[in-house]
Amino acid sequence: MTNNIYIYLAIMAGVTYAIRVLPLTLIRKEIKNDFLQSFLYYVPYITLAVMTFPAILGATQSPISGALALIIGVVAAWFGASLFMVSLSCCAIVFISELFLIPLT
């Protein structure tokens, strides 16, 4: 290892913080442009949806338990369960289904 790990960590931390803090500190006013306003309104939903599927299928030991977690999570959230309950139901269904899907571990 020729390079210093602490310099690597400082670069990782510095670059990441700059990306996160600059928009929050520099954009002080309401953006008036209709397109930009709508664009930023949609960003949160789009980006979280893109990150959820198909990644959820690969997060568990079996894609089936991942798919079950997706279904349970969607149904629970659709019917108004709290953030904590939705999350907990996803974890529970994976734990239970993998008892049957992956009996050896």
Partner 1 sequence: MKPLLSSLPGIQAENSRVFYDGMRDGIPIGLGYFAVSFSLGIVAKNAGLTAFQGFLASALVNASAGQYAGFTLIAASAAYLEMVIVVLIANARYFLMSCAMSQRMKPETPLHHRLLMGFYVTDELFGISIARPGFLNPYYTYGAILVAAPCWATGTALGVIAGNLLPLRAVSSLSVALYGMFLAVIIPPANKNKVIAGLILICFASSYAATWLPLVSSLSAGTRTIILTVAISAMAALLFPVKRKEMEND
Residues 9-38 that bind partner 1 (CB under 8 A): 9, 11-13, 15-17, 19-31, 34-38
Measured distance CA(77)–CA(90) in Å, rounded: 11
Binding mask 57-86 for partner 1 (x = CB under 8 A): --xxx---xx--xx--xx-xxx-xxxxx-x
Residue reference for tokens 């629970």: 76
- Least distance (Å) from partner 1 to the CB of residue 42? 4
According to CB under 8 A, which residues from 83 to 102 bind partner 1?
83-84, 86-92, 94-95, 98-99, 102
Sign of CA dihedral 32, 36, 42, 44: negative
The answer to whether residue 103 forms part of the interface with partner 1 (CB under 8 A) is no
* Residue 40 interacting with partner 1 (CB under 8 A): yes
Question: What is the residue whose two structure tokens read 């979280």?
Answer: 48
Structure tokens at 14: 């510095």
